[in-house]
Amino acid sequence: MPHEERKVEAADGIALHVECWRPEAEPTFAVVIAHGAAEHIGRYAPLAERWNTQGALVFGPDHRGQGLSGGSVGHVDAFEVYARDLRTVIEDRAKELPDAQQPDAMPWFLLGHSMGGLIALTYLLDHEKAVPLAGAIVSAPLIEPAVKVGAVKRFAANVMMSLAPKVALPTGIPAEDVARDPDIVAAYKADERRKDGLTAGWLRAMQAAVARVGGQAKDIELPMLWYVGSGDRIVSPEAVQRAFDGMPEAEARDQTIRVFDGYYHELHHELPPERDKVLTMLDEWFAAHR
């Protein structure tokens, strides 16, 4: 499928690396992807190519400080900045689709994974109507880390926030916690495009975003699909379930959650038999909402 790369300038001048996968024919729907921390949009090529065959135009950026985009490694001052970047990328693409703002235009969807899930929810709070969306998918959103931070690490993080908020430190997340597929784990370890570091400033921004989403996500009326694996070692599946349970009138708003028993963090990268269940669910959800 046709694949292209471009640079899009963020509001503050940061160069965002953006990739797009096009179907062979005219697209019938669009999917915008917000990737997770310590990864990049290129890791979503298999998903993009799958949805290309179904008529989707699929695109997304490397978030600032990640992958091939500019900015301090692993740093952001606020998740609202990520959301603003995402809007810039979406509107840049929408210029090529002049009917994007029309009610009867082809449907647009937003998919966010992990950190990207938290970015997606922040985006919906601030920019949902910038380009009208038909729905959003939230994969293992970063509502709460699965590993609790001890007192010593919390103290160190607080010191770093004051003294060196933009110094990136390794995430400390084992590659084996990403997925159960050994080929995915090996590729993840060998991927030189990944920037495995986050700053104390990023941690402060994440905490603020979690608090905001926790208080305001109930206002999102857009159809949504949330999903998470019960075996997730990176994001707390219990916290994700609690956050979704706080959504009022979820059924009436066409908002649902699926919990996959034993699955790890990247459900779309599980072993093939399990992976197929997730991909089929996503295919069917897109089909039902466009």
Name, in order, each residue with C-beta under 8 angstroms of 156's C-beta and a sequence gap of 6 or more: none
pTM equals 0.94
Per-residue pLDDT of the chain (290 residues), as tens digits, is 699 999 999 999 999 999 999 999 999 999 999 999 999 999 999 999 999 999 999 999 999 999 999 999 999 999 999 999 999 999 999 988 766 666 567 899 999 999 999 999 999 999 998 999 999 999 999 999 987 654 434 545 565 565 567 888 888 899 999 999 999 999 999 999 999 999 989 999 999 999 999 999 999 999 999 999 999 999 999 999 999 999 999 999 999 999 999 999 999 999 999 999 999 999 999 999 99
Give the model confidence (pLDDT) of 169-213 as tens digits.
Answer: 888 899 999 999 999 999 999 999 999 999 989 999 999 999 999
pLDDT at 104: 66
Evaluated on CA atoms 37, 54, 8, 212, the torsion sign reads negative
pLDDT at 154: 53
pLDDT at 148: 63
Give CA separation, 152 vs 114, 148, 155, in Å. Answer: 25, 12, 5
**Side-chain-side CA neighbours of residue 251 (13 Å):** 0
User: Backbone phi, then psi, for 110, in 5-degree steps?
Assistant: -115, 130
pLDDT at 64: 98
Domains and CATH numbers, the chain: 3-288 (3.40.50.1820)
- Crossing angle of helices 151-163 and 200-216, in 10° steps, is 110
Q: Which of 16, 104, 20, 4 is nearest to 57 (CA)?
A: 20
pLDDT at 155: 45
The answer to whether the CB of 234 falls within 8 A of the CB of 114 is: yes
Give the model confidence (pLDDT) of 90-125 as tens digits.
Answer: 999 998 876 666 656 789 999 999 999 999 999 999
